[in-house]
Amino acid sequence: MNNSEVSDQIFNGKDPERQGFWKGQFAPTRTSPQLVFDVLFGLLAPVLCFYFDPIVFQGGMLGEPLFSSYQVFAYSVTAIEVTVLLLWLLGSRLGSVSALLAGFLIAGSVFSAVIGFAILPFSLLGLMMVIGIFGFTPFLTAFVYLRNGGRALRADVYYPVTRSWLPLMMMGFILALGVPAFFAIQVSQSVSNSVDAILYGDAVHAEAAVHKLQAFPFVTRESLNPIVNSYMGESNEIRKNRLKKSYYDLTGEDLETRARILAD
């Protein structure tokens, strides 16, 4: 093997030992172990962490979730990032689109790192119960997105048809976070309007609002707290029963139990 062939192998990430560990991690071409790692912590782990989430967005283990208000935003960002990463891992010769995907992936890296730092105190505390180790998963996910975002950006730069990678990268970054933020705001406003209809509307409008909320995939307990607060201050038994029924239809839980929790 001549020197040029050796150099080509190192450049394309086929000789991690010659490159050093960190250089090999960010080499232009992924290795089979890196692909397995990326699938585990870039595709599967985020979905599983949200599904079995006992603290951050759904709660249960420590009572109220830490960031339930950001649930729709976080789930939307994750859905986009998982899709984009899958597209990147399966795609080949994506050309100038690579810079756009790089922006999405780098945004996903920043988002995952922020979550990791936000829950870090609880992750460290949870190490005593072993389960806390899963709180460090966002940092591994951030690493996966950063590595693949860098590779996608480098792939775009290598294509001579690309005149400027920066605008596309910034567009991807903004879309990755901006679209979920816009969607979360719209969902929050719609949920708030429906809750107001339950609180201040007649029986027909209240029932319609309940049916509308039941169609939403994510309605946090926090967003329904105004129903609980209104129930606690309501003296009219008919309205109290209506509020109680509406809350049960939406959550499957007894409103009075929730009221006692909020009162503590």
Per-residue tens of pLDDT for the chain, all 264 residues: 443 443 344 344 445 445 566 777 777 788 889 999 999 999 999 988 887 776 777 765 556 677 778 888 999 999 999 999 999 998 766 766 888 999 999 999 999 999 999 888 877 776 666 565 677 899 999 999 999 999 888 886 655 555 577 888 999 999 999 999 999 999 999 999 999 999 998 889 989 999 999 888 778 888 888 998 888 888 888 888 898 899 999 888 888 888 777 776
Q: Is residue 255 part of a domain?
A: yes
What sign results for the dihedral spanned by CA atoms 121, 127, 129, 132? Answer: positive
150 and 195 assigned to the same domain: no
Structure tokens at 169: 């990268």
Q: Is residue 71 part of a domain?
A: yes
- 77, 180 in Cβ contact below 8 A? yes
94 and 176 assigned to the same domain: yes
177 and 90 assigned to the same domain: yes
- 247, 224 in Cβ contact below 8 A? yes
Q: Is residue 125 part of a domain?
A: yes
177 and 243 assigned to the same domain: no
pLDDT at 53: 73
| Size (the chain), residues | 264
171 and 46 assigned to the same domain: yes
194 and 76 assigned to the same domain: no
* Close Cβ partners of 34 (under 8 Å, ≥ 6 residues apart): 25, 147
144 and 237 assigned to the same domain: no
* Close Cβ partners of 5 (under 8 Å, ≥ 6 residues apart): none
Q: How many domains does one find in the chain?
A: 2
pTM for the model stands at: 0.79
Q: Helix or strand or coil: residue 62? A: coil
Q: Is residue 94 part of a domain?
A: yes
The domain boundary residue, chosen from 165, 182, 199: 182
56 and 134 assigned to the same domain: yes
165 and 37 assigned to the same domain: yes
Instruction: Name the DSSP class of 52.
Output: T
Distances (CA, A) of 145 to 57, 78, 80: 21, 11, 12
Domain that holds residue 82: 31-182
**229 vs 3: CA distance, rounded Å:** 75
169 and 205 assigned to the same domain: no
Instruction: Name the DSSP class of 39.
Output: I
100 and 65 assigned to the same domain: yes
**204 vs 262: CA distance, rounded Å:** 28
- 95, 71 in Cβ contact below 8 A? no
Structure tokens at 141: 């996910």
pLDDT at 163: 57
52 and 115 assigned to the same domain: yes
